[in-house]
Structure 1
Amino acid sequence: MSNYRIILAGQFIFNNQRSFEMALAQYNQRVEIHFKYDVFLRSENIFDVEQNCVNIPRHVEPEITDRTWRNTVSALETVCEYAIAGSLSAWKLENGKIIEHREIEPNGDKSAIQSYLLGKRLVGKGEDKAAKEALDQAIQKCERHAKAYERRGYVNFRLKNFKDALYDFNKSIIVNPHSEEAHFGRAFVRIVEKDYVSAVKDFDITLKNSIPHQPIFWKTKRIKGECHLILGEYKMAILELIPVSKRVFKEEDNNFGWQRKVWFNLGQAHLGDENFKEAIIALEKAKTFPEGKDNLTKEDIDGLIKEVKAGKIPNQYRNPVPGNIKTGAPFLN
């Protein structure tokens, strides 16, 4: 019988004590009677009695049978039926490859649920005004709706309502401190404020609460590396950018189209670190990629290669000031 590596994380919010208690009772009943305790999560480890919620920070099980996986997911789906907000992501892996991926979120007829789902769909379509109205309604019905705050934060960011976006991301993080999306969004606001140090801290939390199988993980490493570059922390930039440079992204992945920028910034980081040989290698590699989502020009790359070959370190790398190092594109893409 094959065993699998399991990773899951999420949170479910309940509207009241009664819903929480019903979810807890149903979970225990299914675990005891239906599954004969063949699950890898015990209720006492995930049900937060004080907060009336289910909290599962990133949880990893190295060796679990398919049956135990299916039992546990089924029990969590039952719990979700009583929740008014939240979501849970679960991955089953074999030899490092995803065999199965499940996303579980409330999908009932309660207005808070339907308003959030509508808002999420509208965000995906870029209909920001209508999305904000729907998410406003979800939050009015459920003040602890971390997912609605997080989605509204992105809408406010796109609308350049940065103060409101920061408020929303902060509210989401208060309810769910382990939300990678909310920390990711708050980092964007910090970048607009040119507070790159705080942005890096939020990106660190994003990486801690995401996995390499998620696009957000690699996007975070790329932009975190860019923050380190701007701060003149060249060794840290190299540490983040090298793994991204080696990764091959599919066209449907939102990380696709950034590799020229990654190699260009890696070259700049090596230059700042006074490693001319690696800087040349990275910059020459950048030239092999077609134009992507960056705003680099051939002259940008060739000009820096010329500086490196001359053994020069331009002043902006010796005394970095935010805005003086061209990183290849606006951050928030």
Structure 2
Amino acid sequence: MSGQENSGIDSPEDSQVYSLAIDGMGGDKGPEVVVAGLNIAADRHRNMRILLIGDESKLLPLLAANPKAAAICTILHTEQSVPMDMKPTAALRLRQSSLRLGMDVVANGQAKGVVSAGNSGAMLALAKIVVKTMPGVSRPAMAAVSPTVKGDLVALDLGANVSCDWRNLVEFAVMGDIFAKTVLGLPAPRIGLLNVGSEDQKGDEKLRIASEVLRESPLADQFAGFVEGYDFTSGKVDVVVTDGFSGNVALKAGEGVMKMATALLRQVFNRNLISRLGYLLVRPGLERMKEWLDPRRYNGAVFVGLNGVVVKSHGGTDAEGFACAVDVAMDMVTHNFNASIRERLEHMTALMAQRQSHES
């Protein structure tokens, strides 16, 4: 572990390529959770090398208390950080913030990816401007994993793009396919387009065109057609593709339902002595369900379609949740996620260009 000046990220003698850059100052709970999470992640990724970016005076004592994290981390010192409530336009002006420097080292190739629990809007804005969208992708999307009755599901976009056209949706399908293969280990993920019904005539023009293009694409055998809101949890498909507005509404609605169900269960089992005895009988099953639905397991949303791996951890997570976000980033890095997207998009380009020329 060593400290560096900010200019060190551009120095020619610093030739090490780090597995990940970590924003040490982001999140509701600050560097304590970040360093503790890295201490957990260090056991899972023994060869991982981390560029930990933030205030050295705050990070060094935490690393001293977390020796496994200390063994894999090099500190890049900066005293600037992006507050959770800062507007993206203001964050762009902080050229030495821990979040900005994390994006810089990914853009210049010194780190393969960046993880932050910080400001979502600032993170997306910096990712677009600094890391930039990869060739062949018109817009990046936010993708994340969530549970279903049959396993796990990849959903995108979850809020990066409020409105989308058919080309965006096709690109999201390609990126969701590679995401599911990389993170979930599925050889041929089933892909669905979110709609107000499963019938072919349902939805607007962009959905119908995206569906037609996917049926004629290399993803045709995996494309399951239109799916509805309840298919986020039904297990009918492994990837749900939608625009950022609908995706974010579905995400927040799902979180709300989970909180309500948890509160209602507490009320039921605390009602009287008989209900408390009943809880003792069903407790093993409830504990298993709690473990299965633990939001920490699904922490780590990925901005896909960029020239580097960019992972957003939930700002209020704990150390285990942050470690899971690091796991997601390492899966992306280890399995050459972006290279796979580029290869797949090359096969789709001609098909989409043909469709566009037909429309014009």
TM-score (norm 2): 0.31
The structure number with the bigger radius of gyration is: 1
Which is bigger in relative contact order (C-alpha 8 A, separation at least 6)? 2
TM-score (norm 1): 0.32
